[in-house]
Amino acid sequence: MIEFKGMSKISVILAVFNEEENIEACLKTVKGWVDEIVVVDGSSSDKTAELAKRYTKRVFIRDNPVMFHKNKQYAIDKATGDWILYLDADERVEKPLREEILKIVRKDEFDGYFIPRKNIIFGKWIKNSLWHPDYNLRLFRRDKGRLPCKNVHEQPEVKGKVGRLENYLLHYNYQTVSQFVRHINDRYSENDRNVFLKEGKKVHWYDAVRFPVNDFFSTFFARQGYKDGLHGLVLSLLQAFSALVTFAKIWEAQGFKEENPTNFLDKMRVELKYSRKGFTYWWANSKLEETGNPFKKLVLRFVRKVSS
């Protein structure tokens, strides 16, 4: 049985850096219905902190670490509400989600909630692949949740039961290709390299092919990025590029170790042959999900089998 409690206080927290173009639009969507806004600014060189102070007095200036979750956790530590709703500056809380949150925090049912995100990338709502439904654990009881601060892809750790909300958090994700590439270089490839190296792993020449190819297959086929058309194709290729950059940075950390195996061209041909077979496998697998023709299904199953 679900119990209802009195009004719980909600603290919105943000950790930001050079977000003068986004910060006000974000804070306008929470000002007036949450009890507290806490902003940690990573020593921005623009007017981010100044603009944030129009909406809250609780603005803290700190360094901007590569592990930016440290500033998010600092904001959580500074918050005083019963519930934490943590946002990024490029996110917006629209009316349906606001009403759902206000209703849900009165229920003594869960200690945290995953919220789906509506990702707008290159001007389009991306409805497949890595970016949909893109559940993120963004609402949790302050005394139950913390960020581990170990990985930029991590979710908060919540002690207790966790549920899901229905309404979307609007996310104006990558708006330009330059922004996407900048994040690959400055944030994600750096983190992925560090995680890889901490695990004591090493890369070899064939990983220069396998890293990006596997990422493309995963994004475009397995997670159905192809359903988003050209947007899905370009995003899948950019994800593959991200994997290549990660490989190159790991190789760099290994001192650009030389590898020039005997019959290198022949071995490269074999590697690309496996990639071609992988492409055929995933193409057939994806087509199987689309066709209703029994004969075509039989042919596609055969193609998939011989390509596995």
Of 241, 248, 252, 150, the closest CA to residue 195 belongs to 150
Helix (H, G, I), strand (E, B) or coil at 155: coil
pLDDT of residue 271: 95
Task: Tell me the per-residue pLDDT of 173-190, one tens digit each, with 9 for 90 and over.
Answer: 999 999 999 999 988 999
| Mean pLDDT calculated for residue range 31-41 | 97
B/e letters for 161-181, b = 16+ CB within 10 Å, e = fewer, are: ebeebebbbbbbbbeeeeebe
| Mean pLDDT calculated for residue range 192-218 | 95
State the residue for tokens 């007095």. Answer: 57
pLDDT of residue 3: 40
Task: Tell me the per-residue pLDDT of 101-152, one tens digit each, with 9 for 90 and over.
Answer: 999 999 878 999 999 999 999 999 999 999 999 999 999 999 999 999 887 7
* DSSP per residue, 88-153: -TTEE--HHHHHHHHHHTTBSS-SEEEE-EEEEETTEE--SGGGSS--EEEEEETTTEE---S-TT
- Phi and psi at 61, nearest 5°, equal -105, 125
Most confident of 49-58, 99-108, 186-195: 49-58
CA pair distance 105, 252, nearest whole angstrom? 48
pLDDT of residue 217: 97
Both tokens of 282, joined, read 């995933």
CA pair distance 282, 300, nearest whole angstrom? 10
* DSSP per residue, 192-234: HHHHHHHTT----TTHHHHHHHHHHIIIIIIT-GGGGHHHHHH
Question: Is 50 exceeded by the pLDDT of residue 45?
Answer: yes
Task: Tell me the per-residue pLDDT of 219-234, one tens digit each, with 9 for 90 and over.
Answer: 999 999 999 999 999 9
Domains (range + CATH), the chain = 10-172 (3.90.550.10), 177-259 (no CATH)
CA distances to 35, 38, 71, 72, 257 from 79, rounded to whole Å, are 10, 7, 12, 11, 48
**pTM greater than 0.85:** yes
pLDDT of residue 7: 66
In the predicted model, what is the mean pLDDT of the chain?
94
Task: Tell me the per-residue pLDDT of 244-270, one tens digit each, with 9 for 90 and over.
Answer: 999 999 999 999 999 999 999 999 999
pLDDT of residue 5: 46
